[in-house]
Amino acid sequence: MPIRDPVLELEARARFLHLPIKNGAPKRDVTLEIGDSPPQNLTIELSDSEPDWWTSVDISSQVGKTIRLTTSRLPAGSTAFSQVFQSNDVPGVVEAYGEAKRGLFHFSPRRGWLNDPNGLVYFQEEYHLFFQHNPYGWGWGNMHWGHAVSRDLVRWTELPPALLPDLQGTMYSGSAVVDVRNDSGLGVAGKPPLLLFYTAAGNPFTQGMASSMDGRIFTKWPGNPVVPHIAGENRDPKVFYHAQSHRWVMVLYVEEGGEHTLQFFNSQDLRSWTLTSKISGFYECPDLVALPLDGESDQMKWVLSAANSDYMVGSFEGERFTPDTPIIKGQSGRGFYAAQTFNGIPESDNRVIQIGWFQTETRGEPFNQAMSFPMELGLITTPSGPRLTWTPVRELGQLEDVAHDVRATTLRPGSVEPWAGFSAEAGRLTLEFLDTDSILSLNLRGLAIIYDGANREIRIGNLNVAVPPSNGRQRLDILVDRIGVEVFAGGGQVFIPYPQVFDHSRKDWKIGVEKGEFQFTSVRLARIKSAWTP
């Protein structure tokens, strides 16, 4: 006999409440009521027996209050509710970040699912990385805004989720700004608030705002929505300050009349927004950012992009994006999506830094998916027009242990490699060589990467990517982690993300010449240490 309408009532007594999860178990509709917080309607793969892992809900602010867990039915003998327990620490936390498929220098959630980066912002001397997060499951669902902070873009500390689903819906993607002049009135004199703009994915989808004074506790604005429903699943607000025209700008994805559009809004107070223009041809997760062409600050151009990372270069005076180019192909790999750039980076730094969702599936682990390594964006003039460039942020150097730094060497088929026997789970290979029609064959932990000089292309799996030489040279910069590879080439114009969960037993790296001759001006091999240990 199934158990009908099971209810579990407990008094909150500890920091965490733990629910048993089994990946792939039937999804159950569960309502979780904790003290005076609004009830949460969740879909959870509850474990009826021994769980794969526990989801741990922070209940520390509700001690003494009642916790109520309800669902419609559980199978006979299910221990889903009777296993629920409380404690002051997270089960398995000692082992966390040491799991076999945990990327060593790519951010991943401690538990549960991750997709888009959200609310990338520098605030009170910390980089904030919010992210689409299911704390209750290995797969997508129950969208929360997960939250992590870092002082160096390399070592991240995960904090409790910043935004939880509410009666307006689950929490879809969006962005964050530092309201420096307190235009919203949600800060106090001399202390700017951090504002989050998110999509409440309810019925219908609307855009909401939440504020925080300390980057830890977030309060949804009682006047939400800031932008009411327009059409369909309108979503993913990207907000930033447009200094030249002294106004706040929001770019929003709206599917209207069967067309994928991005719509531009203006605001003075961040609470009320006025539509100023629309553009077609982009799908979800927009971003719009200014970059100096060839590094010249008097030649600012605007780059409009969306989830697949294709982009247009043009101008933006505050109300309307005017393209100079058609849509240009962005990244050249796979499994990279919904990238976003940071707001709030101080002018003294002046970098445009981007993180994207790196779609690395980690089956069998209590967590799933990762972020790309943070990259600095640039914009350069090429014979085909302006093009974006991607470079891993220099902070990666903090984790590098250089094993070989060879200044000049020439290799032919059968040559003994000066770095023979190199092995690493995570590392970085940087090669510079004279343009040649020869063939270079890399084998990094069992993954073959070919550079075919005659065709000036890189081949990985079924990808063939053209890489233009610059000044008669090629430079390949390759990051390898347990969960994937990121290749940078062609002076940064070529970015090839490539998710790949490596076989644990393969740690060997080989760099050999298959045909012809390679004159290297530099070969650098570094191991990358784990970002998760001090």
Site residues (CB under 6 A) for ligand FRU, limited to 446-485: none
Site residues (CB under 6 A) for ligand FRU, limited to 256-275: none
Least distance CB 479 / ligand FRU (angstroms): 23
Q: Is the CB of residue 237 less than 8 Å from the CB of residue 200?
A: no
Q: Binder to ligand FRU among 86, 142, 173, 305 (CB under 6 A)? A: 173
Quote the tokens at residue 354: 């981007």
- For residues 217 and 213, what is the distance between their CA atoms, to the nearest angstrom? 8
Residue whose C-alpha is closest to residue 430's, from 518, 521, 524: 524
Q: Binder to ligand FRU among 40, 132, 309, 493 (CB under 6 A)? A: 132
Sign of CA dihedral 306, 477, 294, 341: positive
Residue 284 within binding range of ligand FRU, rule CB under 6 A:
yes
CB closer to ligand FRU out of 173 and 436: 173
Residue 235 within binding range of ligand FRU, rule CB under 6 A:
yes
Least distance CB 283 / ligand FRU (angstroms): 8
Least distance CB 256 / ligand FRU (angstroms): 15
Q: Are strands 287-292 and 40-44 parallel, antiparallel or unpaired?
A: unpaired
Residue whose C-alpha is closest to residue 137's, from 20, 7, 38, 59: 20
Least distance CB 209 / ligand FRU (angstroms): 16
Residue 338 within binding range of ligand FRU, rule CB under 6 A:
yes
Residue 116 within binding range of ligand FRU, rule CB under 6 A:
yes
CB closer to ligand FRU out of 285 and 424: 285
Residue 236 within binding range of ligand FRU, rule CB under 6 A:
yes
- For residues 358 and 371, what is the distance between their CA atoms, to the nearest angstrom? 5
Quote the tokens at residue 502: 């490596």
- For residues 476 and 390, what is the distance between their CA atoms, to the nearest angstrom? 12
116, 179, 452, 481: which is the annotated catalytic residue?
116
Residue 166 within binding range of ligand FRU, rule CB under 6 A:
no
**Which residue do the tokens 């904790």 mark?**
34
Q: Binder to ligand FRU among 16, 107, 136, 172 (CB under 6 A)? A: 172
Q: Is the CB of residue 173 less than 8 Å from the CB of residue 116?
A: yes
Least distance CB 132 / ligand FRU (angstroms): 4
Q: Is the CB of residue 524 less than 8 Å from the CB of residue 429?
A: yes
Residue whose C-alpha is closest to residue 55's, from 120, 150, 146, 129: 146
116 is known as an active-site residue: yes
Residue 251 within binding range of ligand FRU, rule CB under 6 A:
no
Binding site for ligand FRU (CB under 6 A): 115-116, 132, 143, 172-173, 199, 235-236, 284-285, 307, 337-338
Query: Which residues are catalytic, by number?
Result: 116
